[in-house]
């Protein structure tokens, strides 16, 4: 931590009630290097202590201005977003408010207090069709869906601001947290195969799946090192969803013959998906000391968390 910060700088998290928010707050509290301010639109759904919770509607500019000017956080990690890709395609106004306008309000309020602003972004700003995957940080964006367009617009707001900024781009985040019901590929494959269901899984898309704990750790490294610029913060293994499903079945000792290989043309979804993304993470490794878990290790971490959630 540099001398620019007070002894215990304040770090404010948006979207604290979501999956990434849960992991950020947990890791920051256990490290103890920051005074942690968790924010969300409604009451706190976080089950631990050691932080301050502040209600803040990031789509309300006066609310954002009031909270940030009163609390004056040295660091802001903006993780809140509307991330359900098909919902974004079908409800574009809501998506624009959540992903673009909210970012604009936060950036403007943060400029007034000089915060280090860390924006969480996505591989969906890329087309996945240009043969450049896995992508480097300086690749040219070309989103193929509305969600990707709004996240790219959010990035541009941050880059064009007067702030000291960083962007943490990630890919296919998976994980579980107390009180959150959101599924992921591992939980879906596990529950389907345990129920004896045959599942169709695509083998023509590529991603570098990211454990939620790793994304949180990467964002915290950016904050601790006061790093600026764009960082790819994802897993390191380039896998198809079919390969992820097979690895999940292997880990839990489930029947792999129930997993049927298919391709994206068989699925009708409101939003188009980029075919092949995934990230090169060498910059984050070198400059931040970031090292993600393997996908198999990630499955093991989830397996333990599932058992703990039931106990």
pLDDT digits (tens, 9 = 90+) for 14-46: 999 999 999 999 999 999 999 999 999 999 999
Q: 239-275, pLDDT tens digit by residue? A: 999 999 999 999 999 999 999 999 998 988 999 999 9
Angle between helices 19-31 and 212-224 (to 10 degrees): 50
Task: Give percent of the chain above pLDDT 90.
Answer: 90
∠ CA(267), CA(268), CA(269), 5° rounding?
110
Residue 283: pLDDT above 70?
yes
Peptide bond into 44 cis (omega under 30): no
Band (pLDDT 50/70/90 cuts) for residue 143 is: very high
First to last CA, the chain: 38
Position 6 scores a pLDDT of 61
Write out the two tokens for 126. Answer: 């890329």
Regarding pTM above 0.85, the answer is: yes
Query: Tokens 């998506």 belong to which residue?
Result: 95
How far is C-alpha 244 from the geometric centre of its chain's CA atoms? Answer: 19
Residue 128: pLDDT above 80?
yes
Position 178 scores a pLDDT of 80
Structural domains present in the chain: 10-176+211-234+275-293 (3.40.50.720)
Beta bridge partners of 89: none
Output the average pLDDT for the chain. Answer: 95
Residue 80: pLDDT above 60?
yes
Can you list the alpha helix ranges (DSSP code H) found in the chain?
A: 19-31, 61-71, 85-90, 92-96, 102-113, 146-159, 185-194, 212-224, 241-252, 282-288, 295-310
CB 159 within 8 A of CB 117: no
Residue 181: pLDDT above 90?
no
């Amino acid at each position: 931590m540099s001398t620019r910060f007070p002894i215990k700088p304040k770090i404010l998290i948006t979207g604290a009630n979501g999956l990434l928010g849960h992991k950020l707050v947990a890791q920051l509290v256990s490290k103890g290097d920051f005074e942690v301010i968790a924010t969300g639109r409604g009451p706190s759904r976080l089950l631990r202590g050691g932080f301050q919770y502040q209600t803040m509607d990031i789509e309300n500019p006066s609310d954002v201005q009031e909270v940030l000017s009163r609390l004056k956080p040295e660091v802001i990690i903006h993780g809140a977003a509307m991330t359900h890709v098909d919902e974004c395609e079908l409800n574009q106004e809501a998506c624009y408010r959540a992903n673009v306008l909210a970012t604009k309000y936060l950036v403007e309020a943060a400029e007034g207090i000089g915060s280090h602003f860390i924006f969480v972004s996505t591989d969906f700003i890329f087309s996945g069709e240009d043969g450049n995957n896995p992508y480097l940080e300086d690749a040219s964006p070309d989103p193929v869906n509305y969600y990707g367009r709004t996240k790219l617009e959010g990035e541009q707001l941050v880059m064009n601001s007067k702030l000291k900024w960083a962007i943490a781009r990630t890919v296919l985040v998976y994980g579980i947290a107390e009180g959150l019901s959101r599924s992921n590929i591992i939980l879906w494959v596990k529950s389907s195969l345990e129920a004896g269901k045959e599942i169709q899984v695509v083998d023509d898309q590529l991603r570098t799946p990211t454990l939620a704990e790793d994304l949180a750790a990467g964002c915290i490294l950016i904050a601790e090192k006061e790093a600026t610029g764009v960082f790819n913060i994802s897993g390191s293994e380039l896998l198809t969803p079919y390969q992820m499903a097979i690895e999940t079945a292997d880990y839990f000792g489930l029947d792999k013959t129930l997993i049927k290989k298919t391709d994206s043309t068989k699925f009708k979804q409101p939003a188009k998906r980029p075919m092949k993304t995934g990230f090169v993470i060498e910059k984050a490794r070198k400059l931040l000391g970031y090292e993600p878990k393997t996908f198999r290790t990630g499955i093991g971490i989830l397996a333990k968390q599932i058992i703990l959630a039931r106990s």
